[in-house]
Structures are given as structure tokens and as C-alpha cells.
Amino acid sequence: MVAAQPAKVLIFSATNGYRHESIPDAISALTTAGPSHNIEFDQTEDSTAFTDANLTTYDAILFLMVTDVSPNDIINLEQQTAFQNYLNSGGNFVGIHSASDCLHDAVFYQREIGAYFWDHPTLGEATFLNNVDPTHPTVSMIPERWTYTEEVYHFKQDPRSVGAKVVLTVDPNSAGANASAAIQGDPHPIAWYQERGAGASEGAPTVGRSFYTSLGHLSSTWADETFMAHIMAGITWSLGSNTTKAFNPSTTVGNAALKGSATTGWATSLSCLCLLPAYRNAPEGQPMQTQQKEERGWGLRQLL
């Protein structure tokens, strides 16, 4: 499958609760990895980014360690409607770590992310298992037993109940005791994907993909090569839905602004999702005022 143009992804990292110290490191790691995957990232914590007009310009929305404490305090009901409209139009979604600990009253969001966070044992060394679907592109880089320091999330739902396919689990000896064990399903889910995101309304004509991983708590994690390969593979797998303009110009959402530039050829094999590098700075004239910020040679656009 050959992309029509680079994919454009909005990183949303707002918090109104616990705030992870690793968020700046995560943003830096993602935007540094972007060029080699032909992904252009915008980053914001401003909820006014959630309008129909603005979200339509993105191939995926990425919730990065978002948290809240009250309903509607990171994005209000009108903004949530725009978010669901985006999902109903073929938009893709990626959630990382505490993205499962927000919008607890939004049924569409629970279905799109798959399950809400319940709690976690004390941070420590854990052994994660890649033995469910070890060749899936989102986990093919992870060994069968992968041990490192990370929070092990317990969940309030079983993501398989909305059709999610779990691809990473955890050794029960690493998980710690929790009342959610019977609720979240067995084996204990850690990362999963949905070929058709369940957050889209029933009958939506075009439905994109969803990917979630509960990993990513520590800053040191974002410097780990295996973890970063897992994250970038989850993003690129989601973008391969063929429901946005990155791959299918006839669709209604995604990066549509070529502004006369030469056609960018980046290709991906559906079996391995290996991307050929080519990058072009984002065009001006987006719905929101933007400020160009150069970081490690990457054009990170931060929405103000």
C-alpha cells in the first residue's frame, strides 16, 4: 500500500489529575521518530483543538498519558461530539498508558480505547508476554518474555468485550493482586488493537483503527528501543486503515494539504509496516494558529 502523502497525527496530552513527568520525554521521542516513519506530529493540551474542522485534518488522534478527575474537564461535551464525528468519518485512534484514565463518562471513548484503568501495584520489574499473536506488527519486535520496570495496569473492563484483539499480556506473578482480575479477562491484557474502532457510532460508513498500550510510565521507557518500536508500530499500524487521506485520497479525513509539493512516496508492507523515509514540513493555514518549533531537526508544530 502506497501513501498519498505523509500522515498527520495530533498528540493530545492534557491532564487534570495525575501528571506523568515522562510526558515531555514521550513527546520528544515521538517527534524524533516521526521523520523515519513519515509521520508529522502536532501536539496540544488545548481542548479547543477538538472541532470538526480541525480534527478532519488528521489521520490519527493520539491520547498521550491523558488524565482527568471529573467528567468533561479535559474536553467538553461539544468537543467530545467532534471527536466522535471524527471516528465516525474513518479517523484512527491511538491511546498510550493513562489514556485509559480519562473521559470515564463517555461511552464512545470507553469502547474506542477498549477498557478503563482501575489501578496498578507498586512500580517494579514486570515480565510481559508476547505469546498471543507474536507476529502482529504491533508486537513482533517484543520477545516472548520481556522483563523491565513498568507499571502493570489493571482494568475495569475486558477489552475483548468490544472486539479488541489483545496482543500483549503479563506474567500473573508480575501483575499483583486486584479485584479486577475476573473483570478484565484472562490472560491479563496489556496492549490491544481494534481493526474497526468500537467508539464509532453504529452504522458509521467508514471506521478507522484503534490501538492501545498501557506501557509508557517512566521517562527511561521512552529511551528503550524495543518500547519505541512497539509504540511506532502501533501508530503506523493504525494509520494503515486505508480510511484516511494518508493512504486513500478519496476519504474525508486526514492530511489533505499538499500545497503544490511533489508527491511524497512512502510505502508500507502490510506484513511488516516498514516505512520508507520522506518528509515535508506541514503547510500553513491550518484552522488554528500555529507556531513552528524546530526540535532535533523535526518540524514539531505546537498548537497554541
Other residues' Cβ atoms within 10 Å of the Cβ of residue 226: 13
The Cα-based distances of 168 to 33, 74, 134, 212 in angstroms read 22, 29, 8, 10
Q: What is the pLDDT of residues 142-194, one digit of tens each?
A: 999 999 999 999 999 999 999 999 999 999 888 776 666 779 999 999 999 99
Omega cis (within 30) before 187: yes
The C-alpha cell of 279 is what?
A: 518528509
* Mean pLDDT across the chain: 85
Q: For position 141, what pLDDT does the model report?
A: 98
Q: How far apart are CA 48 and CA 78, in angstroms?
A: 10
Specify the CATH number for the domain of residue 123.
3.40.50.880
Q: Cβ(254)–Cβ(60) under 8 Å?
A: no
**Predicted pLDDT of residue 192:** 99
Q: What is the pLDDT of residue 182?
A: 79
DSSP letter at 198?
T
Q: Which residues pair with 292 in a beta bridge?
A: 301
Q: Residue 108: its pLDDT value, please?
A: 98
Whole-prediction pTM value? 0.85
Q: Number of folded domains in the chain?
A: 1
What local confidence, expressed as pLDDT, does residue 289 receive?
32
Would you state the pLDDT for residue 177?
A: 66
Q: What are phi and psi of 95, to 5 degrees?
A: -120, 135
Domain boundaries, position 224:
2-303
pLDDT < 50 regions, the chain: 257-304
